[in-house]
Structure 1
Amino acid sequence: MTRLIVAAGGGGDAVAAAMLDAALYGADQHPTVILTYAWDRLLVDPVPGPREPDDFTGLEQITPMVWAVPAEARPIAPAGSTLPRLAAELPYTFALIDPRHGVEGLTRQLEELVRHFFPVSIDLLDVGGDILARGDEPTLKSPLADALTLAACCQVNASIRLLVAGPGLDGELPLDDLRGMLGPLVHTFTADDVEPVGSVLEWHPSEATGMLAATARGVRGVCEVRDAGLPVPLTDVGPTVHEVDLDEALGRNRLARAILETLSLNDVEAYSREICGYSEIDYERDKAARFKGYPPTELDPVAALSELDDFENQARSRGVTHTTFRRLTEALNFNGSQREILRELLISKRPGQYEAPLWRLPTDA
Structure 2
Amino acid sequence: MKRLLIAAGGGGDAITAALVHAALHGADAPALVLTYAWERLVVDPVPGPRGAADFTDLASPTPGLALVTPRTAPKAPVGSLLPRLAAHLRPTLGLLDPYDGTVGLARQIEAAARWCEADRIELVDVGGDIVARGDEPTLRSPLGDALALAACAATGITTSVYVAGPGLDNEVPLSDLMPRLGPPAFALTPEDTDGVLGVFDWHPSEAGAMLVAAARGVRGVCGTRDAPRPVLLDDTARQVHRLTCEEALRLSPLAGALDLCPSLEAAEKASTAICGFSEVARERDRAATAPPTPRRHEAPSADADAVLARFAVWERSRLAEGLGYVTTRRITEDLDLTLPEALTLYGTLRSGTSPRHVAPLWRLAED
Q: What is the distance in 1 between the residues matched to 2:41 and 2:229?
A: 18
1:254-333 correspondence to structure 2 within 5 Å: 254-294=253-293, 296=295, 298=299, 301-333=304-336
Partner residue in 2 for 1:202: 201
Q: What per-residue deviation string (whole Å, max 9, x for no partner) do you get for residues 208-233 of structure 1?
A: 11000000111111111123464111
Partner residue in 2 for 1:14: 14
Relative to structure 1, the CA distance from residue 105 to residue 16 in structure 2 (aligned partners, 3 Å threshold; closer, same or farther) is same
- The AA in structure 2 aligned to 1:78 is P
Using the size of structure 1 for normalisation, the TM-score is: 0.93
* Aligned residues of 1:329 and 1:342 also touching (Cα < 8 A): no
* Aligned residues of 1:227 and 1:331 also touching (Cα < 8 A): no
Q: What per-residue deviation string (whole Å, max 9, x for no partner) do you get for residues 68-115 of structure 1?
A: 011111111111111111111223211100000011111111122223
Relative to structure 1, the CA distance from residue 14 to residue 358 in structure 2 (aligned partners, 3 Å threshold; closer, same or farther) is same
Partner residue in 1 for 2:58: 59
Deviation at 1:133, TM superposition (A): 0.3
Deviation at 1:236, TM superposition (A): 0.6
* Aligned residues of 1:227 and 1:330 also touching (Cα < 8 A): no
Deviates more, 1:223-232 or 1:267-276: 223-232
Relative to structure 1, the CA distance from residue 270 to residue 303 in structure 2 (aligned partners, 3 Å threshold; closer, same or farther) is farther
Relative to structure 1, the CA distance from residue 151 to residue 133 in structure 2 (aligned partners, 3 Å threshold; closer, same or farther) is same
Q: What per-residue deviation string (whole Å, max 9, x for no partner) do you get for residues 29-50 of structure 1?
A: 6410000011221122111111
2:359 to 353, 356, 361: 356
| SS of equivalent residue, structure 1 residue 154 | helix
Deviation at 1:183, TM superposition (A): 3.6
Q: What per-residue deviation string (whole Å, max 9, x for no partner) do you get for residues 90-149 of structure 1?
A: 232111000000111111111222233321542000011110100010111111111111
* Aligned residues of 1:69 and 1:83 also touching (Cα < 8 A): yes
Relative to structure 1, the CA distance from residue 342 to residue 170 in structure 2 (aligned partners, 3 Å threshold; closer, same or farther) is farther
Deviation at 1:242, TM superposition (A): 1.1
Q: What is the distance in 2 between the residues matched to 1:133 and 1:20?
A: 21
Q: What is the distance in 1 between the residues matched to 2:82 and 2:155?
A: 25
Partner residue in 2 for 1:119: 118
Identity across matched positions, percent:
49
Q: What is the distance in 1 between the residues matched to 2:194 and 2:90?
A: 14
Using the size of structure 2 for normalisation, the TM-score is: 0.92
Relative to structure 1, the CA distance from residue 41 to residue 295 in structure 2 (aligned partners, 3 Å threshold; closer, same or farther) is closer
Relative to structure 1, the CA distance from residue 300 to residue 75 in structure 2 (aligned partners, 3 Å threshold; closer, same or farther) is farther
Q: What is the distance in 2 between the residues matched to 1:58 and 1:152?
A: 26
Q: What is the distance in 1 between the residues matched to 2:38 and 2:150?
A: 18
* Aligned residues of 1:183 and 1:245 also touching (Cα < 8 A): no
Deviates more, 1:354-363 or 1:344-353: 344-353
Deviation at 1:330, TM superposition (A): 1.7
* Aligned residues of 1:188 and 1:240 also touching (Cα < 8 A): yes
Deviation at 1:307, TM superposition (A): 2.7
Partner residue in 1 for 2:131: 132
Relative to structure 1, the CA distance from residue 7 to residue 334 in structure 2 (aligned partners, 3 Å threshold; closer, same or farther) is same
| SS of equivalent residue, structure 1 residue 196 | coil
| SS of equivalent residue, structure 2 residue 185 | strand
| SS of equivalent residue, structure 2 residue 6 | strand
Q: What per-residue deviation string (whole Å, max 9, x for no partner) do you get for residues 161-215 of structure 1?
A: 1111011111111222121122453321111111111221222111111000000
| SS of equivalent residue, structure 2 residue 158 | coil
**1:34 aligns to 2:33 (yes or no):** yes
1:211-250 correspondence to structure 2 within 5 Å: 211-228=210-227, 230-250=229-249
Deviation at 1:246, TM superposition (A): 2.0
Q: What is the distance in 2 between the residues matched to 1:2 and 1:105?
A: 22
Q: CA RMSD for the aligned pairs?
A: 1.9
Structure 2 unmatched runs, 5+? none
Q: What is the distance in 1 between the residues matched to 2:303 and 2:182?
A: 49
Q: What per-residue deviation string (whole Å, max 9, x for no partner) do you get for residues 23-67 of structure 1?
A: 21127x641000001122112211111111111100011333220
Q: What is the distance in 2 between the residues matched to 1:342 and 1:149?
A: 38
Count of residues in correspondence between the two structures: 359
Q: What is the distance in 2 between the residues matched to 1:343 and 1:46?
A: 21
Partner residue in 2 for 1:3: 3
Deviation at 1:343, TM superposition (A): 4.3
- The AA in structure 2 aligned to 1:24 is L
* Aligned residues of 2:100 and 2:262 also touching (Cα < 8 A): yes
- The AA in structure 1 aligned to 2:254 is L
1:138-149 correspondence to structure 2 within 5 Å: 138-149=137-148
Partner residue in 2 for 1:105: 104
Q: What is the distance in 2 between the residues matched to 1:313 and 1:42?
A: 29
Partner residue in 2 for 1:68: 67
| SS of equivalent residue, structure 2 residue 134 | coil
Deviation at 1:248, TM superposition (A): 2.2
**1:87 aligns to 2:90 (yes or no):** no
Q: What is the distance in 1 between the residues matched to 2:169 and 2:316?
A: 24
Relative to structure 1, the CA distance from residue 199 to residue 111 in structure 2 (aligned partners, 3 Å threshold; closer, same or farther) is same
- The AA in structure 2 aligned to 1:68 is L
Deviates more, 1:253-262 or 1:283-292: 283-292
Relative to structure 1, the CA distance from residue 329 to residue 282 in structure 2 (aligned partners, 3 Å threshold; closer, same or farther) is farther
Structure 1 unmatched runs, 5+? none
Partner residue in 2 for 1:174: 173
